[in-house]
Structure 1
Amino acid sequence: MDRIRIGGGNELNGEIPISGAKNAALPLMIASLLTAETLTLKNLPRLADVQLLKRILHNHGVDQRTDGKRAGQCSQAGETVHFTAADIVDTTAPYNLVSKMRASFWVLGPLLTRFHDTRVSLPGGCAIGTRPVDFYLMALRELGAELDIENGYVVAKAPGGLKGNRITFPMVSVGATHTALMAATLAKGETVIENAAREPEVIDVAECLVKMGAKIDGIGTSTLTIQGVDELHGATHEVLADRIETGTYAMAVAMTGGDVTLRGGRPDNLNSMISVLEQAGATIDVEDNGMRIRRNGNGLKPVDVETQPYPGFPTDLQAQFMALMTRAGGTSVIRETIFENRFMHVQELARLGADISLSGDTATVKGVDQLHGAEVMATDLRASVSLVIAALAAEGESMLHRVYHLDRGFETLEDKLSACGADISRISD
C-alpha cells in the first residue's frame, strides 16, 4: 500500500494547475444515463473515484471512449471522455461497486426516470457521518416513484414514468438536489425544487443538462423549476475547476509561506474561503486565469469558522483550515454544521503536535509554535490532505499512510506540491 513521505519546512513557490472538480465530474458522468446519445465531458480529473464510477457505468452498459493526449498538452490536463448510454444492459447498481463510493448512488434518479425500473444498492463512501438517503427517496416519491428497501437495495419503479411535482427539502442536500434535478428532466410536467443546493457543482450539472435539452429555470438559486421533456440529447461540456482543490492549495501556501499561482482556480466560487484566509494573514489576488496567494514571514492570525452550505464556508475545507489554525498565534473555534462525524482528523493532527479540544460539533484549536513530524493515518478524503498541510510546516519528516483516501479526490498532489518546492514523495511498497 502506498505511503507519502513529507519533509517539513519548505516554502511553496511557483504555479499549480487546478484539476476539474470531482464533485461536478461524478454527477456529470451519471447524467450520461439520461440519453441514448453521446455526452462528451472535457477536463475530467484522473481520480480513483472517477475510475470507479467509470466501472459502475460500464456495468450498466455505458460505452466509453477516452481521447489521447494532444501534442503540447499539459501533463496534468484533464481527460476528455465520451459516454454513450444507448444500450443499457442492466439497471441494477450492485453493492460491491456502490458500497465503495457514495456518489454512485446518484444513478438511481437517471435510471428510474429513463427506464422506470431500477435496483440500486444503498451507498458507502467516507465514514464522516450517517448521511442518510431519506431526502433522495422523498424527492423520488414526490415524483410518483414506488420505492421499497429490500436486502440493502432500493428497488424503484415508476410505471408510466415519473410525474412533475413540488419538492421541498427540509435541509439543503447536494446529493438529493442532483437526484431530484436529473429525475425531473424526463418527468411529465413541471417540477419545482425548493431549498435546492446552490453549490457551483450543482450549477455546472444544471448547465450541462440544459445543453442536453433540459428545461431548467432558476439555476444558481434555491428554487429550481424544471419542465419535463420526452428525451435528452448528446452534448459537450467542460468540467469546472475544483474549488476544493483550489482552497486546499491556498491553505497549503498560507501554512508554509511563499507565493503560488493557482492556474485555472475560480476565486468567484470561493469568496467565503478567501475572506477567511485574508483574515488569517494571507494575500490573495484575482488574476486572469486563476488566483495568486502569498504569505510573508508574519505569523498566522486565528479566525473562527462555521461550515455552511454554499455560499458559506465549505465543509470540504474544514479539515484543511483546522490544520492551518494549528500554527495560528492564538485560539480559533471551528464549528462543523454539515456532518456530525467530521473531526476524525483531530487525533492525527495531535500526533503532529496540534493542541485541539472537541465538544460536540465544535473544535477549539490553540495555535502552537511548532509542529513535529510523525507517522499519521488518513481517515477520509479531506482529512488526509489536512495532514499533508500540517506536515508541510512540521519540523522533521512525516509519513502519511492510507493514501488511497487522498487519491480519491486529489490528482497527482505530490507532483504538484514538489514542483513548487515541497519535499514530498510517494513510496510504493
Structure 2
Amino acid sequence: DLGATIEVKNGYIYAHAEKLVGTDIYFDQVTVTATENVLMAATLANGTTTIHNAAQEPEISDLCHCLNTMGAKISGIGTSTLIIEGVKHLNGVKHSVCPDRIEAGTYLVAAAITGGSITVKNIRHQSMRATLGKLIEAGADIKTENNSITLDMKGRRPKAVNIKTSAYPNFPTDMQAQFTALNAIADGHSSITETIFENRFMHVPELSRMGADLTLEGNTVVCKGVKSLTGAHLMATDLRASASLVLAGLAAQGTTTIERVYHLDRGYETIEEKLKLLGAQIERVQD
C-alpha cells in the first residue's frame, strides 16, 4: 500500500521502491510487528500515512517516541489510530528502550510458582495491569512503587486462574505459557484460551511429561492443578515455551533438564544467573 514492490522467491523476500508514498493502512487484526514496520517505513515516505486498528502495546509507543526524537512526525501515540507525516530524513539520537514487561512478568511468575517472594526493579507496573491482576487472583500479595514491583506468596500454593489472551491492554499472549506452568501446580481447575497465535501450546506435552494434568481442546488448554510436578528431560520449542519449562523445573521435585535453550536467549539475558540470585539451583551446561 505504501508503493513498494514485494516478491517472495526461493524463501527470500525481495522489496523495492523508488520512493514510498503515504496512504491509509487498515489492519483486519491488531498486529504489533506490522504496526512497527509500517511506522518505520512511513516516517520517510512522501505524504501522510494513517494506520487504523494499530497495536497499542507500550513497545509501540516507545518506538513512536524514539522516532519522533529522531525527527519523525507521529501523532495519536497510545491510540489505535496513528498518523505519520513523512519527513526527508531522521537524525541519530540516544534512546533508552522501555523495560521488558514480559521478562519482568516471567520472574514474577517464578516467585509465584515456588511460593516465594521477589522485587523487580526498573519496571513500569502500569504496563502490566493484566498480568498483575491475574497474579493477585492467584493469591499473590503485590506492592507497586514508581519503578518496582514486589510479589510475595508467603509460601502459599497459587490458586488456579482462567486466562484468555488478547491484544494490549488485555492479557498478553507472551505470558500465556508461563501461566500454563503456574496453573499446572495451582489449587483448582482452570482454562487458558489463546486467541492471538495458532499452535502456541507446544509446551503442553512437555509439561505433561512432568506430571501436569493438561488437556488441549482446540485453542484452549484445560488445567487440573496437581500438588507437585516431577523433574524430567524436556525439549524447548520456542521462546516463551522455554521459559515455562524453566519455571516448571523450579517448582518440580527432582532434576529437570531442558534441551535447546538457545530459544531463551532471544528474550532473556542470562536468565539462569538472575534466577540464581533468587536462590534457584540452575546451571547452563554446554554441549
Task: Using structure 1 for the length normalisation, give the TM-score.
Answer: 0.66
1:229 aligned residue: 87
Matched residue type, 1:230: K
* 1:185 aligned residue: 43
* Equivalent residue, structure 1, for 2:180: 322
**What is the aligned partner in structure 2 of residue 333 from structure 1?**
191
Mapping 1:38-117, distance limit 5 Å: none
Q: CA deviation at 1:301?
A: 1.2
Question: Which ranges of structure 2 fall in alignment gaps of 5 or more residues?
Answer: none
- Per-residue deviation, 1:409: 1.2
Aligned 8 A contact 2:239 2:267 in 1: yes
Q: How far 1:318 sits from its partner (Å)?
A: 0.4
User: Quick check: 2:124–2:146 contact (8 Å CA) kept in 1?
Assistant: no
DSSP 3-state at the match of 1:293: strand
Across the aligned residues of Structure 1 and Structure 2, the Cα RMSD in angstroms comes to 1.0
Rounded to whole Å, the distance in 2 between the matches of 1:226 and 1:297 is 50
Moved over 6 A (4+): none
- The one of 237, 242, 251 equivalent to 1:379 is 237
- Per-residue deviation at 1:290? 1.2
Deviation string for 1:60-85 (max 9, x for gaps)? xxxxxxxxxxxxxxxxxxxxxxxxxx
Deviation at 1:328, TM superposition (A): 1.2
AA at the equivalent of 1:315: T
Deviation per CA, 1:320-369: give whole Å up to 9, x if none.
00000011111110000011110000010011110000011000010001
The total of aligned residue pairs comes to 287
Task: Report the secondary structure of 2:284's partner residue.
Answer: strand
Question: Is the counterpart of residue 260 in structure 1 residue 127 in structure 2?
Answer: no
Contact 2:102/2:174 (CA < 8 Å) preserved in 1? yes
1:113-128 aligned at under 5 Å gives the runs none
The equivalences for 1:152-231 within 5 A come to 152-159=11-18, 161-231=19-89
Q: d(CA) in 2 for partners of 1:254 and 1:289? A: 20
Identity %: 54
2:150 to 292, 310, 314: 292
1:86-107 Cα offsets, whole Å, 9 max, x none, are: xxxxxxxxxxxxxxxxxxxxxx
1:152 CA drift (Å): 2.6
Aligned equivalent of 1:249: 107
> Quick one: distance in 2 between partners of 1:412 and 1:152?
32
1:309 is aligned to: 167
C-alpha distance in structure 1 between counterparts of 2:11 and 2:176, whole Å? 31
Residues of 2 paired with 1:425 and 1:155: CA distance? 42
- For the 8 Å contact 2:114–2:251, the answer to whether it is kept is yes
* CA offset digits 1:372-398 (Å, max 9, x no partner): 111111111100110111111111111
SS in 2 for 1:397: coil
2:201 corresponds in structure 1 to 343
Name the amino acid aligned to 1:326: A
Give the secondary structure class of the aligned counterpart of 1:299: coil
In the alignment, structure 1 segments of 5+ residues that lack a partner are 1-141
Name the aligned partner's letter for residue 148 of structure 1: E
TM-superposed deviation, 1:270: 0.5
Return the alpha-carbon distance in structure 2 between the equivalents of residues 276 and 303 of structure 1.
Answer: 7
Q: Which has the higher contact order (CA 8 A, sep 6+)?
A: 1
What is the rounded CA distance, in whole Å, between the counterparts of 1:396 and 1:156 in structure 2? 51
Structure 1: which amino acid aligns with 2:250?
Answer: L
| Cα shift at 1:300 | 1.6
Counterparts of 2:115 and 2:32, CA distance in 1: 34
